[in-house]
Structures are given as structure tokens and as C-alpha cells.
């Protein structure tokens, strides 16, 4: 016959067990469809990765993973929605370099979420390094990073560079390069990546950073010239192109999209998601799709490594924004 102590322990445990079974966070998870928030409109790199991952999860867990595109405000609307969702294992989503590292560093007003503490990082998913590009007509004698640095030192602030907007990743990446190289160029911000690329091709600006997916054809045609990549190491798609990091350690920038859940999501759920994310990243199909989209495989694919990486990114861009007085209202 159960003792009084055993009966009391069972009585105390029953509500917790009922809650776990009711919200699906015990062994039965997922017992209903899971929402996967993509904080960008359909069609871009984040949406492609999110849908690929959602399809993999749906097959692996035999449950629906419903993609919810919540774009706007530089992805902060969707990321805020993720932070404020119930931590029950039924909402996960993508976080990224903009909403979780750069915007917190440059925005004057506080964000409605904490960029690291309000999330349970699961894995980095995809990396999009930029290329350092010049207009060959505007800078005909600049054929290498050393040439650009020498030209900028000879004529401080005479060379201009474009970006997709003040406080954007392309702006901060160029600021980081200039800080490491000890040079100054004049910033010309545009209202997005499309106008930026048009200005570079037309020679309105001398140089810029931009991603390989949108510039590769123009590079092949000789309309713009690539000098280096901002990836930590050379890109497989451009093996002969040096990384800025080789000459200026720390001058690396790669836009990233990672998987996270709201802080407080049960650890067993996070562990299962992390395990299946590893399977997704290792698959030959994923690697081929990434190659086609000029996406790079991430290095930080465990929850611990990804969390530490986000912390470093926040510190890097915070210090850079303060040093260069970069502020966005």
C-alpha cells in the first residue's frame, strides 16, 4: 500500500504531468502543428531556408510545420512576435544578424525584445557572406584589396562607398573593414540593395559590399570587379578570391539566419529540434540547394556555439557603432 509520503508526491506531480501532456512538451511532442515564423516576406534567402527546414521537420516529426511570413521593420516585427510567443514548443522561428545584432547596436530607441535573452538559440542555419566590389571604370587601377587601401590612404574620404541604408549590414561591414584597414571613405546610403547595385554598375559610387547571389553575373560580365569576400575564409564558389580576414583579421561580415525558440521552451523539445537541424544541414540535398543559392554552411550549429556566436556579434557591432557614431532613430 502506498505510504502517505508517496501519495503526497504523486498528488504534487500530477498537475505538472498534466501540463506537459496537455501542451505536448513531454515525449508526445509535437502532438499538433508547429508554427515557424520567418521574419521576412516570401521569396528571399530566409524564406527559402525556412521552407526547406520546415519541410524537413514535417517529414522528420510527422507533423505540420506551418511557415508564417512576418516581414517588416528590418525583420524586427517577426522576431518580436517570436520572442513574445508561448514557450510551449509550438512556435519556433528564424532570427538573424539584423534583428539580433545590428539593429540593437545602432538603434537609439530600445527594442521591444532583448536580442539574446528572449530567445533559446538552436542552431545557425545559413550564412551569406558579402563581396567587396568596385566599379572598374571609376577605379581602373584597383585590382586588389591592397590597391583599394592604398588609394583610400592617398586620398582620404575621396573614394565613396554605397550601402543599402544607414545601419544596414552592408554599411556596418564596410565600416568594419575601414576600421581594421585604417582608412576612411565617404558613405552614400541608398534605400535598398537594388538601388545600391544599380548605382555601383552605373558608376555613381566607387565601391560597395554586396552578396554573391545578386552580383555574380555582373562580375562575370566585367561590369563590376570583386576584390575579396567578407567570409571568415574563402568561399567555395570563389576559391581564388581572398578573404578580407586574411589581411585584416576581424574584418569579417556574413549575414546569417538561425533557428530559435522563445526563451523557456522545454529543453527536450530544443534538443530534438537541434538534432534534426544537424541532420538537415548535413544532407546532400540541403548542401546542393545552398550552393545554388550562394549560401554558405554555418560553423555554429550547436545551441551553445550559436548562443556564444550571437553574443560576440552583438558586442562587435555595438562597439563599432559607438566608435563610428552610427545611430538610427
Q: Please write the tens of the pLDDT for every residue from 174-186.
A: 999 999 999 999 9
CA dist 124 and 118 (Å) reads 17
| Residues 98, 69 contacting (CB under 8 angstroms) | no
User: What pLDDT was estimated at residue 21?
Assistant: 41
**pTM of structure:** 0.86
CB count in 10 Å sphere of residue 321: 20
What angle (nearest 5°) sits at the alpha carbon of residue 323, between those of residues 322 and 328? 40
Give the phi and the psi of residue 190 in degrees, each rounded to 5: -120, 180
- List C-alpha distances in Å: 150 to 131, 146, 225: 19, 6, 17
Calculate mean pLDDT across residues 220-228.
97
Q: Which domains does the chain have, with CATH numbers?
A: 32-128+255-324 (3.40.190.150), 129-247 (3.40.190.10)
Place of cell 501542451: 23
pLDDT of 44 reads: 87
The mean of the pLDDT values for the chain is 91
CB atoms under 10 Å from CB of 35, counted, come to 17
**Residue 192 backbone zone (phi > 0: left; psi -120 to 50: alpha; other: beta):** left
**CA–CA gap between residue 302 and residue 124 (Å, rounded):** 8
Shortest CA distance to 255 belongs to which of 45, 41, 107?
A: 45
Report the pLDDT value the prediction gives residue 26, as an integer from 0 to 100: 47
Model confidence pLDDT, tens digit, residues 232-281: 889 988 999 999 999 999 998 989 999 999 999 999 999 999 999 999 99
Structural contact between residues 134 and 161, judged by C-beta atoms closer than 8 angstroms: no
Residue 33 sits at φ, ψ, to 5 deg, of: -60, 150
Query: Looking at residues 276-302, what average pLDDT do you find?
Result: 94
Q: Which residues pair with 107 in a beta bridge?
A: 328
Give the pLDDT score at 18. 39
What size, in residues, is the chain? 329
Per-residue cell: 153: 590612404
Amino acid at each position: 500500500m502506498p505510504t502517505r509520503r508517496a501519495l503526497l508526491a504523486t498528488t504534487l506531480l500530477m498537475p505538472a504531468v498534466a501540463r506537459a501532456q496537455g501542451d505536448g512538451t513531454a515525449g508526445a511532442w509535437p502532438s499538433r502543428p508547429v508554427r515557424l515564423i520567418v521574419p521576412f516576406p516570401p521569396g528571399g534567402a530566409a524564406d527559402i531556408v525556412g521552407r526547406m527546414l520546415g519541410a524537413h521537420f514535417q517529414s522528420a516529426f510527422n507533423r505540420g510545420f506551418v511557415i508564417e511570413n512576418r516581414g517588416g521593420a528590418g525583420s524586427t516585427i517577426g522576431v518580436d512576435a517570436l520572442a513574445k510567443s508561448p514557450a510551449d514548443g509550438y512556435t519556433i522561428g528564424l532570427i538573424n544578424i539584423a534583428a539580433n545584432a545590428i539593429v540593437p547596436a545602432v538603434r537609439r530607441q530600445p527594442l521591444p525584445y532583448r536580442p539574446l535573452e528572449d530567445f533559446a538559440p538552436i542552431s545557425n542555419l545559413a550564412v551569406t557572406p558579402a563581396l567587396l566590389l568596385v566599379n572598374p571604370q571609376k577605379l581602373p587601377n584597383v585590382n586588389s584589396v591592397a590597391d583599394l587601401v592604398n588609394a583610400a590612404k592617398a586620398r582620404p574620404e575621396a573614394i565613396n562607398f554605397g550601402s543599402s541604408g544607414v545601419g544596414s549590414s552592408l554599411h556596418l561591414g564596410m565600416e568594419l573593414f575601414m576600421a581594421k584597414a585604417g582608412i576612411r571613405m565617404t558613405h552614400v546610403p541608398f534605400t535598398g540593395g537594388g538601388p545600391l547595385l544599380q548605382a555601383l554598375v552605373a558608376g555613381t559610387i566607387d565601391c560597395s559590399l554586396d552578396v554573391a547571389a545578386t552580383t555574380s553575373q555582373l562580375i562575370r560580365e566585367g561590369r563590376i570587379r570583386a576584390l575579396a569576400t567578407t567570409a571568415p575564409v574563402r568561399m567555395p564558389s570563389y576559391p581564388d578570391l581572398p578573404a578580407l580576414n586574411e589581411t585584416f583579421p576581424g574584418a569579417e561580415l556574413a549575414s546569417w539566419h538561425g533557428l530559435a525558440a522563445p526563451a523557456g521552451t522545454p529543453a527536450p523539445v530544443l534538443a530534438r529540434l537541434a538534432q534534426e537541424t544537424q541532420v538537415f544541414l548535413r544532407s546532400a540535398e540541403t548542401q546542393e540547394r545552398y550552393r545554388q543559392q550562394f549560401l554558405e554552411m554555418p560553423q555554429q550549429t550547436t545551441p551553445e556555439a550559436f548562443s556564444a556566436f550571437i553574443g560576440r556579434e552583438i558586442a562587435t557591432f555595438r562597439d563599432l557603432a559607438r566608435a563610428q557614431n552610427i545611430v538610427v532613430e
